[in-house]
Amino acid sequence: MPESNTSTSTLGVTLHDGKGTIRVYSANATSIEFLVLNPSDSSEVQTRLTLKRTETDVWEATSPAIAAGVHYALRASGPDGARHGFNNKINLIDPYARGVVRESARDFHNVVLDGSFDWQGVEKPNTPMSQTIIYEAHARGLTRGNTDLPDDIRGTYAALAHPSTIEHLKRIGITAVELLPVQMFISEPRLMNMGLINYWGYNTINFFTPHHRYASPAAIEAGPEAIVAEFKTAVRELHRAGIEVLLDVVYNHTAEGGARGLTYSFRGLDNSSYYRQDDAGNYHDTTGCGNSLDFSNPRVVELVMDSLRYWTTEMQIDGYRFDLATTLARDGSNQYDPNHPMLAAMASDPVLSEAKLIVEPWDIGLGGWQTGNFPDRFNEWNDSYRDTVRRFWLADLAAKQNSGHFYSGVADLATRLAGSRDIVDGANGPLGSVNFVTAHDGFCLHDLVSYNVKHNQVNGEGNRDGNNNNYSYNHGAEGEVSDLGINALRRRSVRNMLGTLLFSAGVPMVTAGDERAKTQSGNNNAYCQDTALSWVNWNLTDAQKNLENNFAYLTKLRRENASLRQTNFGNFETATPDSDLVRWYSEHGEILTEQQWHDAQQRTLLRQVRHVDENGTKNETLTVLHGNDDAISLTLPPTSGHWELIWDSTHETPPVKFSKHKAHSKLLVGPTSMLVFRAE
């Protein structure tokens, strides 16, 4: 689908009738120039076009000199003053540029793209949220360590499209890859001075251009058109395999930083309009990154909407995770507004009607934590789910070791298993909650069970960076050990948390590498580490292969059993197509009493779920979560037939055959373990 169109209302460059039009927004500039650059020497200006201001604060020019393949820059002049950042000697990135060339750390220019691409009839998978399993991955880190790939494509967009990558994702049951930021970003000068880079990419400089560093050397050499084609190829091939592509997008701030930051684009075009400031020019920063885009300005809302439409249509992206999304919905007084025009525009836009819209429902500003307060159109990252699962399986066990008592029982865990109705009681039901135990930010799963404290020394900040409150538990020794007993306990804890995640009501998200026990050596803030420390490991030990096989088996159970992926909050009486039957039992096979619900020492929870579909087909499972380091005798609750044991987390490998047990029969449950039964 080519980029060219006949619209004269679109910002950026449009091509039409053998010529092109450039349109740029600035409410405060006094002049804007379009410079046609020599492709071989961008310091040479071949043509200058002076843009004319319209009544809507859009500056425009039309010329045959604007054509596909043209290299260009913008320059703007304007008033001095605390709120302004004009400098007509600086080449600026067009906010709507589809192709950007980085010449050096401070020098960039734009390229007009044709955008043509053959999608070969491949369409978006459109996987329902109820069947979605999200795999949060770094576009480079996922494949950089895979030595089975050709050296020239490891860690690139091309590697995402490679059959070996897709085979891995399909085998473990992933339905959607959520890529950490791939919109063009740069590293902060502070990191570069330390010899580090911004590896995660939460420092966007252009909202329309794929990050060039993730392209193959051949595509980089060929230029922005080839980089875009390589990215589109990755999306197409993942779609061909039935795997959706979601993007982690950072619209809350830009890489221009705070008042002392460098000027690349927005600041030089209209600092006063794009960024939230007071009259003295002080930035109102709710992101911790130096600036915040001003979403009380309709033109900022328009910019983000145009970017989302572009990625959804031209790049065929299936959905988005919005970083620090509270900032996107702050009004003119800097307060969060659930009815904000930005949220309303996304919710009602026909282009985004099928896109998955996932928010990180917080920022660092006043009133920033808004989990559960976004409109129904959005699914929300659930940090309460993360903390509850970690506490139950890890921190509470550490507390028992230290004090002899558990800090919490099963009530909060049951709420999370059932879909977090206390947080997302809206039209989406449990699917309003995106459940996760780990994410890119924080300990990976292996380190969560191996370290009591963070070890971030290689980040160059004296171990001061990163979260100190991780609810982790090293099981008796810090870091990697040779003790077979400790390692076995750690692996079982990992299996318990993966099982809990995949069988909770809501949308599960797993971090790439957790399915194969990736470690970051205790670093819980590896944002600046583009090394094997952050890359997914591909040379697996037997224990890692066993874990991956277990994970693949668990996703298979989730697919095959509707009662393990609830889409409603359920009821206590009967199963209907609209509402599952959900009952909670103690280890004695009896309905939990009020006292047991609130007893911190009650550490065994049985969840029975019976699902009935529109055809009357039943699916019933029983999940047992035993969070105590002592084995117990379990009495199975009633069912119409037998309970068939289909998974036991005490085993290193998935079951080869199932054992059947009568209702009310007893069996031994091992320490800190999870079991899943299916009614037969």
Active site residues: 323, 360
Give the distance from CA 342 to its chain's centroid. Answer: 20
- What are the angstrom distances between the C-alpha of 348 and each of 247, 375, 376, 378, 418? 20, 12, 12, 12, 29
Residues in contact with 475: Cβ distance below 8 Å, sequence separation at least 6, in sequence order: 449, 450, 486, 489, 490, 493
Contact between 99 and 110 (Cβ < 8 Å): yes
Q: Is the dihedral of CA 207, 209, 212, 215 positive or negative?
A: positive
Q: What single DSSP character describes residue 621?
A: E
Burial class (CB in 10 A: 0-12, 13-18, 19+), 122: middle
Q: What single DSSP character describes residue 537?
A: P
- What are the angstrom distances between the C-alpha of 501 and each of 189, 385, 416, 434? 38, 9, 10, 10
Angle at 356 between CA 352 and CA 362, to 5 degrees: 110
- What are the angstrom distances between the C-alpha of 407 and each of 6, 72, 400, 404, 607? 64, 62, 8, 10, 21
Closest to 16 (Cα-Cα) out of 58, 64, 52: 64
* Angstrom distance (rounded) from CA 159 to CA 169: 13
Give residue for tokens 């960039």: 108
- Residue 585, both tokens: 């039992």
Strand partners of residue 36: 47, 72
| Residues across the chain | 680
- Residue 101, both tokens: 């060339």
In the chain the first and final C-alpha atoms are separated, in Å, by 51
**Ordered alpha helix ranges (H), 182-297:** 189-193, 217-222, 224-240, 266-274
Contact between 156 and 214 (Cβ < 8 Å): yes
**Cα Rg, the chain, nearest whole Å:** 27
| Residue 500, φ and ψ in degrees, nearest 5 | -60, -45
Closest to 174 (Cα-Cα) out of 516, 611, 678: 516
Number of alpha carbons in the 13 Å side-chain half-sphere of residue 242: 12
3-class DSSP string for 463-516: CCCCCCCCCCCCCCCCCCCCCHHHHHHHHHHHHHHHHHHHCCCCEEEEECCHHH
User: Which H/E stretch holds residue 299?
Assistant: helix 298-313
Q: What single DSSP character describes residue 392?
A: I
Q: What region, left, alpha or beta, does residue 367 occupy, with left being phi > 0 and alpha being psi -120 to 50 degrees?
A: left
- Residue 227, both tokens: 């980089």
Print burial letters for 451-488: b (CB count within 10 Å at least 16), e (below 16): bbebbbebbeeebeebeeebbbbbbeeeeeeeeeebbe
What order of strands is seen across the sheet that includes strand 108-111? Answer: 41-50, 31-38, 71-77, 108-111, 99-102
* Angstrom distance (rounded) from CA 168 to CA 614: 34
